[in-house]
Chain A
Amino acid sequence: MKHNLILRVIAKYLFPVIALFAFYVQFHGDYGPGGGFQAGVILSVAFIFYALVFGLKTTEEILPPYVLRILASCGVLIYAGVGVVTLLIGGNFLDYNRLALNPAAGQHIGILVIELGVGITVSSVMLMIFYAFAGRGRS
């Protein structure tokens, strides 16, 4: 599809817009609809759109599969890591009130960090699954 001029130009313009919308949904999850899951899916859709227009090989040069594997594990580790940090500070597992000096700031920090972990894991797993399906059968 990369011989089609309209698709090439539109893909290059739309990719940063979709990624920006994904970050907006991720960080405004407390104040409006949104959160980690929706943002992760939208970010992976940006990369899938690029791969559909420009080919899987080009996209794998931009974002190699081993990076996705590392990122997916990092997301789950961030989430569980917040829980272990609160255990080490002295509270219960995933008790955000202990993360900062007053409980309000602690809750904000806790929700932000775990939604970030969720978003990283969901986007890298969705893109990993797409790479597996699209790359099968070409040696």
Chain B
Amino acid sequence: MTDIILGHYNYWIVILLMMAGFYTVISRSNLIKKIAGINIFQTSVFLLYISIGYVEQGTAPIIAEGYITYSNPLPHVLILTAIVVGVATTALGLALVVRIREAYGTIEEDEIHDQDRSL
């Protein structure tokens, strides 16, 4: 029982962080807070992938004298690309928030829906 907890506590806390980000996206109506929630969700998914690639008593995957075991380099490459794509979509989302504010006058989602319904 304890070695199940010791071997998996990392994944469980990362799932808690994912669910915190997911809850922020679906239950709050402020657009900037939703974008912050999406970013929290993305970052915790990256943590999950890097924890899968971790090797005990290994080192960073840079070949140097005297080290034999290295961490798995493939998740690192994948997550590097994913981080940069994440910032690209965040920048586009924030630009859309600025234009929505100029068009509707507010960034709360239910006020935007009310204005759309009353047209």
Chain A residues packing against B (C-beta within 8 Å): 31-33, 37, 122, 129, 132-133, 136
A135 to chain B, nearest CB (A): 12
Q: Write 13 A-B pairs (CB below 8 A) sorted by A numbering.
A: A31-B62, A32-B62, A33-B60, A33-B62, A37-B80, A37-B84, A122-B84, A129-B91, A132-B95, A133-B94, A133-B95, A133-B98, A136-B98
Chain B contact residues: helix, strand, loop or mixed = helix
Which residues of B sit under 8 angstroms from A133, Cβ to Cβ?
94-95, 98
Number of interchain pairs (Cβ within 8 Å): 13
Give the residues from 39 to 98 in chain B that come closer than 8 angstroms, CB to CB, to chain A: 60, 62, 80, 84, 91, 94-95, 98
Bound-state Cα–Cα, A133 to B95, Å = 8
Q: Please report B residues at the A interface, Cβ cutoff 8 Å.
A: 60, 62, 80, 84, 91, 94-95, 98
Specify the chain B residue showing the minimal Cβ separation from A130: B91
Kindly list chain A residues whose C-beta atoms are within 8 Å of the C-beta of B91. Answer: 129
Q: Could you say which residues of chain A place their CB within 8 Å of the CB of B62?
A: 31-33
How distant is B106 from chain A, measured CB to nearest CB, in Å? 17
Residue of A nearest to B99 (CB): A136
Determine how close the nearest CB of chain A comes to the CB of B62; give it in whole angstroms: 7
CB distance from B96 to the nearest CB of A (A): 12
Residues of chain B with a CB closer than 8 A to A32's CB: 62
Using Cβ atoms and an 8 Å threshold, which residues of chain B touch A33? Answer: 60, 62
Q: Complex Cα distance A132/B94, Å?
A: 11
New A-B contacts (6) at CB < 8 Å, excluding given A33-B60, A136-B98: A31-B62, A37-B84, A122-B84, A129-B91, A133-B94, A133-B98
Across the two chains, which residue of chain A brings its CB closest to B84?
A: A37
Chain A nearest CB from B72 CB (Å) reads 16
Chain A residues within an 8 Å CB radius of B95? 132-133
**A72–chain B nearest beta-carbon distance, Å:** 13
- Which A residue sits closest to B83, measured CB to CB? A37
Q: How far is the CA of A32 from the CA of B62 in the complex (A)?
A: 7
CA of A33 to CA of B80 in the docked complex: distance in angstroms?
Answer: 12
- Assembly CA distance A136 to B98 (angstroms): 9
Return chain A residues, CB-CB under 8 Å to B98.
133, 136
State how many angstroms separate the Cβ of A63 from the closest Cβ of chain B: 19
User: How far apart sit A33 and B84, CA to CA, in the bound complex (Å)?
Assistant: 16
In chain B, what residue has the closest Cβ to A118?
A: B84
